[in-house]
Amino acid sequence: MAMKGVLRPGHIQLRVLDLEESVKFYGDVLGLVETGRDKQGRVYFKAWDERDHNSVILRQADMAGVDFFAFKVDGKAALDKFDADLRAYGLATERIAAGELLETGERVRFELPTGHKIELYAEKTDVGNGMPYLNPEAWTPAAEHGIAPLRMDHALLYGPDIEKAQAILVDVLGFYLVEHVLLEDGKTDLAIWLSCSTKAHDLAFVRHAEPGKLHHIAFQLESWEKVLRAADIMAMNKVTIDIGPTRHGITRGTTIYAFDPSGNRFETYSGGYSSYPDWKPITWTIDEVGRGIFYHDRKLNDAFLSVVT
């Protein structure tokens, strides 16, 4: 008991337009650690403080965006049970053999009504965070190579039918709602923030006509001062910043939104509260959504609701 079932976001596969330019960006500017390349030409990265072999996989493609987003579950039995539960719920699932992704066990894939492919898996090789499990230090030089986030943290996805996605994540996978924004009708959700842990969000959705879109993938930093450092490094490397440094009203996290060379938005964020499943969700009305998203400016910028990949 305690932490069971779905543990955390485990990997995301992103489409990029120019692989080598992107490898340079994810490795030297964002400061992820490259951990491998496979026969398909995909390039694997992890954040320095993650222990599992990979969390971000880049695939060259003609169009930017997200191929799939995955969660690690606590063991093979849980994986099988989730597969059965998803099928019982009426969803088609697909089994992808161990090894199709480097150092990653068998995956169960299904598609949410929002048009996003979600994966579950139970095994990924522990390659460590660069420090021994015996008498480690507090951090390593990798913690200062580029922006150097601690981990791939969450994603915000855009698509239709977000209430159906919420039902699956809550009823089948054990997530809970942390915050949500209501549309003008005061009933329908424009956006939802869902957690499978004590994080204010492990996965979030905004209602959007076109399915399967990515708003951003988020990486966690240690402090507001590291957010400043991230913004500085973006400036030095001519990274296009969407907004920030600023704070979100929703989750209270401090943040920068910026774009990778292919136009995929990413977030480097820090802070935000911890939440628990027994907590009452926080509700935002549409007239206050600007403050909810960007607490200081108190209005959405043009890009927030329109620019996705």
24-42: burial string, b at 16+ Cβ within 10 Å, e else? ebbbebbbbbbbbeeeeeb
By CB under 8 A, name the one of 51, 67, 161, 261 that touches a second copy. Answer: 51
Q: Cβ(181)–Cβ(284) under 8 Å?
A: yes
| Binding flag, residue 188, a second copy (CB under 8 A) | no
Using CB under 8 A as the binding rule, the residues of this chain from 64 to 123 that contact a second copy are 72, 74, 78
154 is catalytic: yes
Of these residues, 201, 208, 215, 269, which one is catalytic? 201
Using CB under 8 A as the binding rule, the residues of this chain from 166 to 185 that contact a second copy are 173-176
Measured from the CB atom, the residue of 166 and 197 that comes closer to a second copy is: 197
145 is catalytic: no
> Residue 193: CB partners within 8 Å, gap ≥ 6?
177, 178, 179, 180, 200, 201, 204, 250, 251
| Binding flag, residue 298, a second copy (CB under 8 A) | yes
| Binding flag, residue 291, a second copy (CB under 8 A) | yes
By CB under 8 A, name the one of 41, 77, 87, 273 that touches a second copy. Answer: 273
Half-sphere exposure of 116 (CA within 13 A, CB side): 34
| Binding flag, residue 259, a second copy (CB under 8 A) | no
Measured from the CB atom, the residue of 61 and 78 that comes closer to a second copy is: 78
Measured from the CB atom, the residue of 40 and 223 that comes closer to a second copy is: 223
Q: Which two tokens stand for residue 184?
A: 């003008």
Residue 109: strand pairing partners = 94, 119
| Binding flag, residue 196, a second copy (CB under 8 A) | yes
Shortest spacing between CB 56 and a second copy, in angstroms: 18
Helix (H, G, I), strand (E, B) or coil at 262: coil
Measured from the CB atom, the residue of 158 and 294 that comes closer to a second copy is: 294
The stretch among 4-12, 58-66, 90-98, 106-114 that binds a second copy (CB under 8 A) is: 4-12
Measured from the CB atom, the residue of 14 and 293 that comes closer to a second copy is: 293
Of these residues, 106, 119, 179, 267, which one is catalytic? 267
216 is catalytic: yes
Spatial separation of the C-alpha atoms in residues 12 and 55, rounded to whole Å = 6
Shortest spacing between CB 19 and a second copy, in angstroms: 26
For residue 135, the tally of other CB atoms under 10 A from its CB is: 6
Q: Cβ(159)–Cβ(205) under 8 Å?
A: yes
By CB under 8 A, name the one of 30, 49, 213, 266 that touches a second copy. Answer: 49
Of these residues, 44, 50, 216, 269, which one is catalytic? 216
Q: Which two tokens stand for residue 129?
A: 């965070």
The stretch among 11-19, 40-48, 100-108, 221-229 that binds a second copy (CB under 8 A) is: 221-229
> Residue 173: CB partners within 8 Å, gap ≥ 6?
5, 6, 71, 82, 196
CA 84 to each of CA 10, 91, 192: distance values in angstroms, whole numbers, following the listed order = 21, 10, 26
| Binding flag, residue 136, a second copy (CB under 8 A) | yes
| Binding flag, residue 186, a second copy (CB under 8 A) | no
Closest by CA position to 214, among listed 157, 155, 130, 168:
157
Indicate which residues carry an active-site annotation.
Answer: 154, 201, 216, 248, 257, 267
